[in-house]
Amino acid sequence: MKIEEVKAIQDPLIQSQYEEQEEDDENDDVPLRTQVYDEVKKQIGLAGPLIAVSLLQYCLEIISIMFVGHLGELPLASASMATSFASFTGFSVLLGMGSALETLCGQSYGAKQYHMLGIQMQRAMLTLTLLTIPLSFIWFYTSTIFIILGQDQEISNGAGTFIRWMIPSLFAYGLLQCLNKFLQTQNIVVPMMISSGITALLHIVLCWVLVFKLGFGIKGAAIANTISNWMNVVFLGIYVKFSNACVHTWTGFSKEAFNDVVSFIKLAVPSAFMICLEYWTFDMVVLLSGLLPNPKLETSVLSISLNTCWMVYMISVGLGGAISTRVSNELGASRPKGARLAVCVVVIIAILEGVIVGTVTILVRNIWGKLYSNDEEVIKYVAKMMPLLALSDFLDGFQCVLSGSARGCGWQNVCVIINLGAYYIVGIPCALIFAFVLHVGGMGLWMGVICALFVQVVALIAINLSTNWNDEACKARNRVQTSIGIE
């Protein structure tokens, strides 16, 4: 008997991979049209609920800012600056660290090592909770940091008040990312959508009561964010604990979660940098707008533009999550051809989505600003920004799905280099030149972002075209074997 056959009998992980490889070979006889059709169904089935989840969870911030915006220009500017800073120093970091689970849990699930999903999630929860403690101290001194950076003192004080009341939300957000990735990589997305939908509906009521009825103003919006994020964590935690869908992947708390935390951190840190380098650039644009003439107007408009961009971006986040899950599952199951087909399909979907979203963005340019402000000057400025947002939305959506594929493969280290070059060697310098040298203002800052997105898209396309998917399947197999102690 061959050595490989002996190993297959002794090791259930390897046995399952031999079976999956045979299944992959059988797929060669299936017509390409059928394979593509099946892949589209899988991705839409995943992406649809994930898009809803992303939009609903992000809507918490949008709803809060909309309520605060009707309190006046100063509260709007303060809340917008605080939200951007919160993303810059907290949410993006935790989101990035949690994204390591897309690789680890996704490939473990594809390899049928189901118990490892619960272990990996516990490691992530432990790591992210510990990281949240120093981040909360940064939030506590937000107003001081803004004043040191030369921001308007009134806006800085208002932003500091808002973000201090958001500190408990930071702990909830970290746990929420772990739960989201744990469920997403198992293709369990409908419960996430239901939980997020209930939370968003309750959040509207909370904002109305706390901001207007009880008169808490800007503090009320921050408190509503905190309550809503914790509600979502509780809903999903109850589902994971009692649902039959998670009976094999969640087997309770285990001491094993404390083992090999370093391996998680080694992937989580570049995951965080990969996402933060991108997110920080957008938030930096809002901070830089405070240094332009008429900072209240520029900050308000750039914040509205950023929130609009992020809201549309949530569609791409859903697609990116879907392709990350598909690629990681396929590679974990040793089906490289399936992973390659998944990437090809999602690229076509992303192009179609980008064209539709860009067209709608341009069509609503004259009314969009009215949702955020009653100020006519703000409304007109937002209308001028919308064509630029349409272009950035198209490019951002394209890079988002390619980045999702990269997370599924575990390419976070490569993506860190790409994002560093695209955003900080090209994007930010271009933004500074357009805004402060050529005096294009806030629109110039956004033009710099578009330059960065273009470079990022070109680099990611080049990486995907040169990928050897058989090698990626071998790497995934080795990663899973290492996580369960097989050398």
Collapse the DSSP code of 307 into the 3-class scheme (helix H, G, I; strand E, B; otherwise coil) and give the result.
helix
Q: Does 344 score more than 50 pLDDT?
A: yes
| pLDDT (average), residues 432-441 | 87
| pLDDT (average), residues 414-428 | 93
At residue 179 the predicted structure's pLDDT band, cuts being 50, 70 and 90, is very high
Per-residue model confidence as pLDDT tens digits over 265-304? 989 999 999 888 888 887 788 778 877 777 778 777 887 8
Per-residue model confidence as pLDDT tens digits over 87-143? 878 898 999 999 999 999 999 898 888 888 999 999 999 999 999 999 999 999 988
| pLDDT (average), residues 422-432 | 93
Min mean pLDDT across 42-46, 289-293, 394-398, 451-455 is at 289-293
Sequence-distant (6+) residues with CB within 8 A of 177 are 94, 95, 97, 98, 99, 124, 128
The pLDDT assigned to 485 comes to: 62
The pLDDT assigned to 20 comes to: 45
Q: CA-to-CA distance for 307 and 65, rounded, in angstroms?
A: 9
Q: Does 12 score more than 60 pLDDT?
A: no
Q: Which among 6-20, 56-70, 174-188 has the top mean pLDDT?
A: 174-188
Which among 175, 108, 92 has a CA at the least distance from the CA of 328?
Answer: 108
Neighbours of 411 (CB within 10 A): 22
For the whole model, what pTM was predicted?
0.83
Per-residue model confidence as pLDDT tens digits over 382-414? 888 888 888 988 998 889 999 999 998 989 999
> Which amino acid is located at 359 in the chain?
T
Q: Do the Cβ atoms of 163 and 138 come closer than 8 Å?
A: no
The pLDDT assigned to 13 comes to: 43
Look over the chain and give the mean of its residue pLDDT values, rounded to a whole number. Answer: 85
Helices (H), strands (E): how many in the chain?
20, 0
Domain ranges across the chain: 28-483
